[in-house]
Amino acid sequence: MKLKKVMALTLAGVMALSAVGCGNTGSETADSAAAAKTETKADSTTQVATEATPTAQTAPTDIKALNDGKLVIWTLANDLISFGERFQEQTGVEVETVVIEPANYPTKVQTALLGGETEPDIIVGEPQMLEDFYDAGFFEDLNQFGAQDYADQIVDYVWDVGQDADGIQRAISYQITPAGFYYRRDIAKEVFGTDDPTEVGKLFADYTTILETAQTLKDAGYRIFASDAETQYFSGDSAWVVDGVLNVAQARYDYMDLCIELYKQDLTAYASQWATPWYMAMAGEVPLLTAETQWGTDDMNIWDAESFNAATEGYETTQVFAYGLPAWGVLTMRDNVGETSGSWGVCAGPAYGFGGGTYIGVSSQSERKETAWEFVKFCTLNEETANWWIEFSEGDTVSLIPALEAHKDDANEVYGGQKLYAFWLEQAKGIDYSKVTRYDKAIGDAWGNAISAIKTGEKTKEEAVAEFYDVVESTYPEITVNR
């Protein structure tokens, strides 16, 4: 009897509590809705859209009337916030952008979409996430909206990255990220007698030539690279996995030898990537470090400018010839070149490569797919947006060919007036996406570890390569490994 009473009371309590909880959320939503309304009152077009009256659409653009009045974007970088704001201005569609930490973005999207969430209309992905997202069916088929009509307007490799295994278009990126070598024109002229990008490109034509170039530069008192990671975007022109079999091409071994030689013969400035001396070398003189001091010492912190300068006073200095970075490196360099601004150039590397990029697609469970497709189109296929983005991001490289063509004569003063958009377009054309597999990141990292182990003398080449095979075999049992 007593127990029953207790139970009944408890249950009643729970119900009362959850009712209170519901009440709270209800009123809160109402509040925020009201707030949203007052915010948008100033802009009449926006208000029309918020109240979801499609016929009264008066947006002054060629974007067709949208029924939904709202769009939710889940993204992992801040770029889409700006795109979203501009879309809202132009169409009156209320855009809500949620930024999620990149490390947890796949978890969040997977849980939500597998859990039946219809909320995000736009989801994005970086190249290494995309294949899993395609397989899980998270991205809507864009062909049904007529995406293929635009096939020749987007740089080929970006178009290919956006396709699943069956060749169906699922996502499109607004930027291209082909890699190239950024080099010092003044040094090129002094040492090699030319600063022409095509001619300098020949100095990087293959791995053996790079070694020769490096030696020549060292003899002249310069260093070819700041760090030995500069060649990573050009690390091989073959696929890691072909038909389920691990494929270690000769070029991979050549690349390995290149890294080892660069290290053993002190051909780089040992300025670790993204550390202070690495940035410093962009502006000219940099203290010459050695293999032992490349990660800093007790009284020298390579991640900090002041301490680094103080600790390396009186060190022998050198200047660095080249950096290997994707197209977004244009922005990194611009911010760091200082007095060497204008004396830089960009040329092609020994292979085609690319790094990163945000791909935008429509969630397959979205209830506002038409609007979402309009947004994808707005970000990636709209020339006006592309031009705006080039200006707004101060030099990011877009993927829309007409916009690249329109800007192909833009001379970039940091790079001695070189016409970079034309160059990147050319580089992007060479990228063969069929050589990219979902295993690239993990296998590439394992190969990189093997290289580090060999060059520091920690392991012999045989040991390191054997361990590389072991790692691949145990990480991906589905891959056949022929040693």
Partner 1 sequence: MNNIGFHIKKSILYIFLIGLGVVCLVPFLLMMVNATRSGVEITRSFTLIPSSHLKENWDTVFEFFDLFRGMWNSLLVAIPATLLSVYFSALTAYGLAMYKFKGNKLIFTMILVFMMIPGQLGLIGFYNLCTKLHLVNSYIPLIIPAIASPGTVFFLRQYVMSALPPALIEAARIDGAGELYSFHRIVLPIMSPALATMGIMGFIGNWNSYLTPMIILNKNDKFTLPVMMATMRASTDIQSEQGAIYLAVAISIIPILLVFCFFSKYIISSISAGSVKE
Whether the Cβ atoms of residue 394 and residue 168 lie closer than 8 Å to each other: no
- Min dist. Cβ of residue 69 to partner 1 (A): 17
Rule CB under 8 A: is residue 32 a binding residue for partner 1? yes
Rule CB under 8 A: is residue 392 a binding residue for partner 1? no
Rule CB under 8 A: is residue 110 a binding residue for partner 1? yes
Using CB under 8 A, which of the segments 12-20, 190-198, 239-247, 262-270 binds partner 1?
12-20
Using CB under 8 A, which of the segments 44-52, 109-117, 126-134, 186-194 binds partner 1?
109-117
Rule CB under 8 A: is residue 102 a binding residue for partner 1? yes
**360 by DSSP, 3-state: which?**
strand
Selection from 139, 98, 68 nearest residue 360 by Cα: 139
Rule CB under 8 A: is residue 101 a binding residue for partner 1? yes
Residue among 124 and 464 whose Cβ is closer to partner 1: 124
Rule CB under 8 A: is residue 25 a binding residue for partner 1? yes
Rule CB under 8 A: is residue 44 a binding residue for partner 1? no
CA–CA dist 446, 210 (Å, integer) = 24
Contacts with 269 (C-beta within 8 Å, 6 or more apart), sequence order: 223, 225, 226, 227, 277, 281, 286, 288, 289, 318, 320
Whether the Cβ atoms of residue 298 and residue 284 lie closer than 8 Å to each other: no
Residue 219 burial (C-beta neighbours within 10 Å; 0-12, 13-18, 19+)? exposed
CA–CA dist 70, 266 (Å, integer) = 58
Rule CB under 8 A: is residue 112 a binding residue for partner 1? yes
Q: Quick one: which H or E segment has residue 320? A: strand 317-326
Rule CB under 8 A: is residue 301 a binding residue for partner 1? yes
Beta pairing partners, 297: 300
- Min dist. Cβ of residue 278 to partner 1 (A): 13
CA–CA dist 76, 81 (Å, integer) = 10
115, 167, 244, 477: residue in contact with partner 1 (rule CB under 8 A): 115
63, 66, 76, 123: residue in contact with partner 1 (rule CB under 8 A): 76
- Min dist. Cβ of residue 20 to partner 1 (A): 9
For 50-163, strand residue ranges (E) read 70-75, 94-99, 122-125
- Min dist. Cβ of residue 107 to partner 1 (A): 7
Can you give the binding site for partner 1, defined by CB under 8 A? Answer: 2-3, 5-6, 9-10, 14, 17-18, 21-22, 25, 32, 72, 74, 76-78, 96-104, 107-108, 110-112, 114-117, 119-120, 301, 303-307
